[in-house]
Amino acid sequence: MSEAGDMGLVVVGAAGRMGQTLIRAIHTIPGARVIGAVERADSPHLGKDAGELAGIGIINVPISDDPLPVFAKADGVLDFTTPASSVEFAGYAAQARIAHVIGTTGCSADDNARIAAAARHAMIVKSGNMSLGVNLLAVLVEQAARALDADDFDIEILEMHHKHKVDAPSGTALLLGEAAAAGRGIALAGNDVRSRDGHTGVRKTGSIGFATLRGGSVVGDHSVILAGTGERITLSHHAEDRAIFARGAVKAALWARGKKPGLYSMRDVLGLS
């Protein structure tokens, strides 16, 4: 536990794009404090001060490759790493009975099942997007998909991210696809079309299509297009700064503290459920 009742947070993947953004965000948010920072065993950043690496000066938190002792003294973990790492960290968070905020995308069904199992003992908040704007957009998408009949409006989801992103479609695109499917009263699985190439045949009525763009330094752009005959509605979100995700993640950790173990979403955190 950290001093003065602050929530003591560990940032795993502390040297990454989101890891460094999280360290900076926690520094500005009352009630939260960085008490640990973890990276992979062969990371060139081990031993460096997490605050200095993130550009806010020394905070006396060295980056370690050993999560267990760090988790043991923490109240929560912020995790934007890789699917395999997040599954492993969920197990450690369950052992320590602490909050675990997972922003990692690209998880398989098996990864998600393991994370759900860990949520029997940890308070886990997992979302493909931690920003207020995208979670509100998901509510609007669900409403629009419900209001506009599948026979009249086709739903397509377009996303663009920076050239370093490794998974597709993005976690956010899938979150928005789930919202559209919920509005239509169908499951996304089995109704999703994740890529098109060659002679595809005509579009299947009621399907939800995805298109992925990658390039440059784009933080995250998402559009949900409802295409009818003679008219088109586009609902969009443009992320300009990773700080929106980091602030959302810290908010989720503070919200999860003291909750019962379970698997929660950002919609729960933001009261949008």
| Residues contributing to the site for ligand LZUJQKHR (CB under 6 A) | 105, 128-129, 161, 165, 170-172, 220, 239
DSSP letter string over 30-42?
Answer: TTEEEEEEE--TT
The smaller minimum CB distance to ligand LZUJQKHR, of residues 105 and 191, is found at: 105
Instruction: List phi, psi (to 5°) of 75.
Output: -100, -20
260 is catalytic: no
Q: Partners of 126 in the beta sheet?
A: 102
Cα dihedral angle (68, 73, 76, 77), rounded to 10 degrees?
A: -30
48 as an active site residue: the answer is no
Report whether 1 belongs to an annotated binding site.
no
267 labelled binding-site residue: no
Q: Which of the listed partners (ligand LZUJQKHR, ligand NDP, none) does 266 bind, with a CB threshold of 5 to 8 Å by partner kind?
A: none
Q: CA geometry: angle at 190 spanning 101 and 232, to 5°?
A: 85
Out of ligand LZUJQKHR, ligand NDP, none, which partner does residue 177 contact, by CB within 5 to 8 A per kind? none
161 makes contact, choosing from ligand LZUJQKHR, ligand NDP, none, with CB < 5 to 8 Å by partner type, with: ligand LZUJQKHR
Q: Cβ atoms within 10 A of the Cβ of 204, count?
A: 12
Given 7, 11, 12, 160, the residue binding ligand NDP (CB under 6 A): 12
Out of 45, 165, 222, 251, pick the active-site residue.
Answer: 165
**In this complex, which beta carbon is closest to ligand LZUJQKHR, that of residue 96 or of residue 270?**
270
Task: Tell me which of 45, 100, 126, 161 is the catalytic residue.
Answer: 161
CA–CA distance, 268 with 169 (Å, rounded to integer): 23
- Would you give the distance in Å from CA 34 to the centre of its chain? 20
Tell me phi and psi for residue 31, to 5 degrees. 95, -5
| 82 annotated ligand binder | no
Rule CB under 6 A: choose which of 51, 75, 99, 127 binds ligand NDP.
Answer: 127
Residue 40: name its binding partner from ligand LZUJQKHR, ligand NDP, none (Cβ under 5 to 8 Å by kind).
ligand NDP
Q: Is 162 annotated as a binding residue?
A: yes
Within residues 13-52, the interface with ligand NDP by CB under 6 A covers: 13, 15-19, 38-40, 43
Beta bridge partners of 156: 209, 225
Kindly state the number of chain residues that form the binding site for ligand NDP, as judged by CB under 6 A: 25
Q: Least distance to ligand LZUJQKHR from the beta carbon of 125, Å?
A: 15
Task: Work out the widest C-alpha separation in the chain, in whole angstroms.
Answer: 63
Known binding-site residue numbers for NAD(+): 13-18, 39, 103-105, 127-130
Give contact residues for ligand NDP (rule: CB under 6 A): 12-13, 15-19, 38-40, 43, 80-82, 85, 103-106, 127-130, 171, 245
The set of catalytic residues is 161, 165
Known binding-site residue numbers for (S)-2,3,4,5-tetrahydrodipicolinate: 162, 171-172
